Amino acid sequence: MAVKNELIKLFEQNRGRYLSGEEIADSLGCTRGAVWKAVKKLQSEGYDISAVTNRGYRLDSADMLSAAGIEKYLTDNSGISLTVYKETDSTNTRLRELATEGAPEGTAVIAGMQTGGKGRLGRKFFSPSDTGLYMSILLRPEMTAADAVRITTAAAVAVADAVEKISGRKADIKWVNDVYIDGRKICGILTEAAFSLENGGLDYAVCGIGINVYEPEGGFPEDIKDIAGAVLDTPADDVRNRLAALVLENFMGYYHKLSENSFLQGYQSRLMWRGEDINLIRGSEITPAKLIDADEKCRLLVKYEDGTEDTISSGEISIRKRK
């Protein structure tokens, strides 16, 4: 296991260059046989590694997620501890297990594919292989459950900042937890929390973020093809590692200043349908209203048809633009 992980780091540091078995063995302090076994293991896990006689080994994947690949873009004081899977059932599920074992704040689980991705209101989150970025971040905040919505909204701004830098395209935020580009959803966010019976506050929170980096081969499934979009039209070198690092650092920067609401202006300026007519959806109940803004507690400010105004917390409510 140690040789395999160190080999990934070495490949990341030498992208595009062949490394001989002898050179790798010397660098890692192991035998050439151990190098060969590690290469075979990585290839079985989906890593695209070339093996050429008299030249050695090379990582060919232009956009392969790895802890080493992400860490090279993180600053030394990021406070992030990474575990990266090529595939898992749900990064939120994996991280909740680590949280109950006492993992510290800043622990992050990232995957290139989820077989059981989760969205809001019990929905599934489409998480295909090698075209998306799925991450969960462990937090141990001192806050009440009512304030936890600020974790989700800060994450939305962190994603919007990152995808704008990567793609050069403007991102919008649909209250409370979705990020859009050009009218199509490219990201969903799900924050799950465990509560302390002693003080009624949060024991921990897990902020899950799923991003469509590219459109999957064959397109999106029928039920979301008219809604879903992607950050980029075509694959680009090392984008998912760069995007993961940007999102993590952006989010932790906002999170450490949550009480200052440093993310709020970025959230309000990107808020979709501000000033437009919407429907508030609570189960089968639909209430028409006008979307005014998001307030300092990240609640939605709306005006009903009778002229009365209200603030809406996330809960079990969804919004849709009125046609």
Residue 114 annotated as part of some ligand binding site: yes
| Beta bridge partner(s), residue 309 | 303
What pLDDT score does 120 carry?
64
At residue 175, the 3 state secondary structure works out as coil
| Homologous superfamily in CATH for domain 67-270 | Bira Bifunctional Protein; Domain 2 (3.30.930.10)
Sheet with strand 317-321: strands edge to edge: 309-312, 300-304, 285-294, 277-282, 317-321
Residue 259 pLDDT: 87
Domain with CATH 1.10.10.10 in the chain: 2-59
Predicted TM-score (pTM) of this structure: 0.85
Tell me where in the chain the CATH 2.30.30.100 domain(s) lie: 277-321
191 is in an annotated binding site: no
CA–CA separation, 311 and 321 (whole Å): 17
Q: Which helix (H) or strand (E) holds 163?
A: helix 149-167
| CATH 3.30.930.10 segments of the chain | 67-270
In order of 5, 44, 202, 263, 290, the CA distances from 298 in angstroms are: 41, 45, 18, 10, 17
Regions in the chain scoring below 50 on pLDDT:
none
Report the CATH fold assignment for 277-321. Answer: SH3 type barrels. (2.30.30)
pLDDT tens across 34-45, in order? Answer: 999 999 988 877
Residues 274, 296: Cα–Cα separation, whole Å: 15
Give the relative orientation of helices 2-13 and 21-28 as an angle to the nearest 10 degrees: 110
CATH of domain 2-59: 1.10.10.10
pLDDT at 145: 75
pLDDT of residue 316: 65
pLDDT digits (tens, 9 = 90+) for 110-122: 999 888 877 665 5
pLDDT of res. 211: 96
Query: Does residue 92 have a known ligand-binding role?
Result: yes
